[in-house]
Chains A and B, each alone.
Chain A
Amino acid sequence: MDRRFPFKVLEHIFSFVDSNEDRNSVSLVCKSWFETERRTRKRVFVGNCYAVSPLKVARRFPKMRSLTLKGKPHFADYNLVPDGWGGYAWPWIEAMAARRPFLEEIRLKRMVVTDECLEKIAASFRDFKTLVLTSCEGFSTDGIAAIASTCRKLRDLELRECIVDDLGGDWLSYFPETSTSLVSLDFSCLDSEVKLSDLERLLSRSPNLKSLKLNRSVTLDVLESLLRRAPQLVELGTGSFSDELDPEEIAKLTKALSELKQLKSLSGLWDLLPEYIPLLYSLCPRLTSLNLSYATVQMPDLIDLLSRCSKLQKLWVMDLIEDKGLKTVALCCKELRELRVFPSGADLDETDVTLTEQGLVSVSEGCPKLESVLYFCVQFTNAALVSIAKNRPNFRCFRLCVMEPFAPDYRTQQPLDEGFKAIVERCKDLRRLSVSGLLTDKAFEYIGVHAKKLRMLSIAFAGDSDLMLHHLLSGCQSLKKLEIRDCPFGDTALLENAAKLETMRSLWMSSCFVSFGACKQLSQKMPRLNVEVIDEHPPKTRPDSSPVERIYIYRTVAGPRLDTPEFVWTIHKSPEVGVSRLSIR
C-alpha cells in the first residue's frame, strides 16, 4: 500500500487533516504513515507537560511551527495545588530553542514561565509571531519587554489572567518604532500604568491590530484617543469605566465607540457606571461576545444593554444579573451559545441578589443554541435540572456550582441525583461536566452509564462510598480528566480500575480517603503512570494506612519527573525502593 503512495502524495493528503486527534489516529496506522504524519505536523499540542519529554517532541516533529502546553492540574486555579509544585516552561523552551528555531507560536497554560524563558524565546526564534500565556506566573514585565523589543514579526502578545511581577509600564515602550505587525495585544492582567503616548503611537502604526485588551489603569478619559487610532478593532477590552467625564468628553467617546464598525467582542468594563451604559448602545447590535464579569452593574441597568444584543453568542456576567436579567437574555439573545454567571460576593453566603435556578431555566428555554454553561448559584432543584435537560439536550459543557456544599434540592430536600441523571441522559454530546450539591453514589452510577462522550468531570463534596469512583472509572468511556475533592472514598475503587487510568490524561484527588499503601500499590501495578503524593504536612512515619492529602496521577512516557519540590513524592515503581524523591534541577 505505501509503495503506491509516495511520500509526497501522503503528505499532501495529510495536509488536510487538521485535528490533532485525527493526526494521532493517522500515525498509528503503520510506520510510513507515522513517519509522514510526524514530518508534516505543524501544530503540536501537549495536554500535560510531564507526559512526554521535550526532547522527544522536538525530535518527532521537525516542521513544528506552533506549540501548546499545559502544566499544572486544573484545580491549581482554586489554590488546591501548593506553590512550587512544578509546570516549568524552561525545559521546553530550551529544547525547542536548540532544535526548532523556526517555531513561531507558543501557547502555555498554567505554567511557570520566567524572564529567562521569555528572553530565550526572544533570542532564539527569528520568526516568532505568537505568545499566549494563560494563568501563568513567574515572570516580570522585563520579560515582556524582551519579547516586545526583539521579536520583529510579533503578531500576538496575550497575557490572560497571569500573575506578573509588575515593575512598571515601560515594557510597552520597547516595541520598536518599526514594528507594525501587531494583530492582538492583551495586557489586561497587569497593574501598572503604561504611558499613553507609547500606546497611542503603537496603535497608530499597527493597522492590522484586531484585538486590544487594556488594563484597569487605562482610564476612561483616554479611551477615546486610543479608539480613534484603532477603528478597525474586532475585540476591545476597555480599562476602567468609571471616571467622571464632562459632557463634551462623553460625546466624543460615544462617537469614537460608534465608529468601531467591526467590533464583535467587548470586555474589561471595570467599575462600569450605570450612567455610561448608553455609550455602549451603538456597539450592541453587532456584538457576539460580551464580558461583563468585572462590571459591578446591577439590575435593572443591565436590561437596557442586554436587550439590544440580539447577535450575542457569548455572555459572561456576575450574578448581579439576577433571574430578571437572564429572562431578558432568554427573550433577546437567541444566538446565545455560551453563558457564564459568576458570584459577586466574596464569601459563600454573601449573595444578596435574586439569582436562583430559575435564571438558568429561562435561558435554557429561550436560547436554542445554548451549549455551554458555567453557573454559580446558592441552591438548586432537581425539577430545574430536569427542565434544563429537556429544553437543551445540546449541551456540550455543563458546569453547575451549587455554592452550599451538600445542599440538597431545597424544595424536596432530596439529593440532586435525579437532576444530574436527566442532564447526562439527555445531553448525549456532553463533553464537560461539573457537579455539585448533595449527591449520592447513584448520581455517579447514572453518569458512568450515560455520559459516553464525557471527557472532563469535576466533583466536590459528593458521594457516599468507593462505589462512586468505581461507577465513574468503570463507565464513562471517553473520560480523560477527572478531578475530585473532599469525597469519601479512595483505595478500593482506585486499585480495581487502575487500567482505566492509563486511558486518561490525569486524575486528581484531594481531601479524599486515599491511603499511602494504595498509592504504592497503584504505582507498582501501572508502569506508565506517575503517582504523585502531594503532602504539605506529611506525617513523621508513613504507615500504609495513613491518608495522603492530595494525589495526582497521570500517564506518562517520560518516567518520574526530576523537578519535584520537597512536598511532592513520586511513588517509585519497584517495591523495595518505596518512595523516591528524585530532585535534580
Chain B
Amino acid sequence: MENVGVCDEFVNLKATELRLGLPGTEDGGEEERQKVSCCKSNKRAFPETEKDIESTGKTETASPPKAQIVGWPPVRSYRKNNIQTKKNESEGQGMYVKVSMDGAPYLRKIDLTVYKQYPELMKLLENMFKFSVGKYCEREGYKDSEFVPTYEDKDGDWMLVGDVPWEMFVSSCKRLRIMKGSEAKGLGCGV
C-alpha cells in the first residue's frame, strides 16, 4: 500500500492515487485503487444501497461522495422553495470552492482567484482553521504535519495541495479538504 506523501515520480500512478469514496464503492471497476474513507469511518455503503432501491435497481458508478438524497435534510418543500439566499450572487465572479476540515463542524467557502500562489492560500487556510502545516516537499508531501491539505479535482480524484502547478490547481480544484495527517498516510478507517 502506497502512502500519499511519496516521491513525485509515483504521484501520478493510478495505484497511488487518493480516492475518496464510500466503503464499497468502485470506480469503473478498476483494481488497485487506493481508497481513503472519509472521517466518518463508520460510514457504511448504505446510501448507495438505498439509492439503488430508490432508483429502481440502477447501479451507480463513480458517484460523487455526497449524493442528493430524496427528502433530506427534512425541510418542507414549501420552505425550500421560498428561501433564496444571496450566496449564489457572489459566485458570478471568482472561483469559489468549499473547504472542510476533519474535526471542524462547519464548512467555509473561499475564492481561489484571490490568491496568486500556494503560500498565500496556505496562509489563509491556516488562519481560517487554526492549524499549521509543514513545508511541502515534492518527495514526501507534508511530512509529519498534523493536518494535510488535499483537494478534489475535476476527475473526482483527491490530490495533495501543491502537487500540480498553481494555475492547473486553480482550474481543476473542485473542493478542498484538510485531512488529518494520520488519515492521509494510509487507510485510517476503523470499524
Residues of A at the B interface (CB closer than 8 Å) are 75, 77-80, 135, 161, 163, 189, 216, 270-271, 293-294, 296, 318, 342-357, 376-380, 401, 403-408, 410-411, 413, 415, 438, 458, 460-461, 485-486, 488, 511, 537, 547, 549
Docked Cα-Cα span, A354 to B44, in Å, equals 28
Q: 12 interchain pairs (CB within 8 A)? A: A135-B78, A161-B78, A163-B78, A294-B82, A294-B83, A296-B85, A349-B100, A376-B75, A401-B73, A401-B74, A438-B40, A486-B47
Q: Evaluate whether A349 and B46 lie within 8 angstroms (CB atoms) in the complex, with A342-B79, A408-B40 already known.
A: no
- Contact between A549 and B86 (Cβ–Cβ < 8 Å)? no
Which 8 pairs of residues, A with B, have the shortest CB-CB distance? A78-B71, A537-B56, A356-B105, A161-B78, A511-B50, A379-B105, A403-B73, A78-B74
- CB atoms of A135 and B74 under 8 A apart: no
- The verdict on A345 contacting B53 (CB below 8 Å), with A78-B74, A356-B106 known, is no
Given contacts A345-B85, A354-B106, contact A407 B71 (CB under 8 A): no
B168 interface hit (Cβ, 8 Å): no
Across the interface, do B75 and A343 meet the contact criterion of CB distance under 8 Å?
yes
Contact between chains at B71 and A485 (CB < 8 Å): yes
CB < 8 Å neighbour of B72 from A163, A355, A380, A405: A405
Cβ contacts under 8 Å, A344 to chain B? 83, 85
Contact string against A for B residues 16-46, beta-carbon threshold 8 Å, 1 for contact and 0 otherwise: 0000000000000000000000011111101
Q: Are the C-beta atoms of A547 and B53 separated by less than 8 Å?
A: yes
CB-defined contacts of A380 to chain B, threshold 8 Å: 105
The count of A-to-B residue pairs whose CB atoms sit within 8 angstroms is 123
Check if B84 sits within 8 Å of A406, measured CB to CB.
Answer: no
A352 and B107 form a contact (CB under 8 A)? yes
What does the 1/0 interface line of B87-131 toward A look like (CB < 8 Å)?
Answer: 100000000001010011111110000000000000000000000
Q: How far is the CA of A318 from the CA of B87 in the complex (A)?
A: 14
Residue of A nearest to B96 (CB): A352
Q: Are A346 and B98 in contact (CB-based, < 8 A)?
A: no
Whether B144 is near chain A, meaning CB under 8 Å from some CB there, is no
* Chain B residue with the shortest CB-CB distance to A402: B73
Known contacts: A354-B106, A406-B40. The answer to whether A549 contacts B54 by CB under 8 A is yes
Contacts of B73 in A (CB 8 A): 343, 348, 376, 401, 403
Q: Would B69 and A406 count as touching, CB distance under 8 A?
A: no
A438 touches B42 (CB 8 A): yes
The answer to whether B76 and A78 touch across the interface, beta carbons within 8 angstroms, is yes
Q: How far is the CA of A378 from the CA of B40 in the complex (A)?
A: 13
Q: Determine if B106 and A352 form an interchain contact, defined as CB atoms under 8 angstroms apart.
A: yes
Q: In the complex, A343 Cα to B76 Cα: how many Å?
A: 11
CB nearest neighbor in A for B102: A410
Contact (Cβ within 8 A) B74 A345 = no
A460 touching B72, Cβ below 8 Å? yes
B70 at the interface (CB under 8 A from A): yes
* Chain A residues near B43 (CB-CB < 8 A): 406
Q: Which residue of A135, A349, A355, A380 has the most chain B CB atoms within 10 A of its CB atom? A: A349
Contact A349 B66 (CB under 8 A): yes
Would A461 and B46 be within 8 Å (CB), given that A296-B84, A349-B98, A410-B103 are in contact?
yes
Query: What mask results when residues 58 to 75 of chain B are scored 1 for a CB within 8 Å of chain A, else 0?
Result: 000000001011111111
> Is there contact, CB below 8 Å, between B105 and A410?
yes
Cβ contacts under 8 Å, A410 to chain B: 39, 103-105
Q: Which residues of A contact B98 (CB under 8 A)?
A: 349, 352
A269 to B70, CA, bound (A): 29
Contact B46 A413 (CB under 8 A): no
CA distance A378 to B87 in the complex (A): 18
Nearest Cβ distance between residue A407 and chain B, in whole angstroms? 6
Expressed in whole angstroms, the Cα–Cα distance for A401 and B53 within the complex equals 24
Which residues of A sit under 8 angstroms from B41, Cβ to Cβ?
413
Q: Contacts of B77 on A, CB cut-off 8 Å?
A: 77-79
Cα of A378 to Cα of B66 in the assembled complex, Å: 13
Residues of chain A within 8 A (CB-CB) of B50 are: 486, 511
- Tell me the minimal C-beta distance from A78 to chain B in angstroms: 3
Q: Which residues of B contact A549 (CB under 8 A)?
A: 53-54
Chain A's closest residue to B56 (CB) is A537
Cα distance, A406 to B22, chains bound together (Å):
12
Q: Which residues of A contact B83 (CB under 8 A)?
A: 294, 296, 318, 344, 346
**Cβ contacts under 8 Å, A458 to chain B:** 74
Interface contact A351-B76, CB-CB below 8 Å? no
State the CA gap A355–B107 with chains docked (Å): 10
Find chain A residues with CB under 8 A from B72 CB: 78, 348, 403, 405, 460
Cβ A413 vs Cβ B87 within 8 A: no
- Bound-complex Cα distance A293 to B75 (A): 12
| Docked complex Cα distance between A318 and B76 (Å) | 14
Q: B66–A348 contact, CB under 8 A?
A: yes
Task: Give complex CA distance A350, B97 in Å.
Answer: 11
Given contacts A296-B83, A406-B42, contact A378 B106 (CB under 8 A): yes
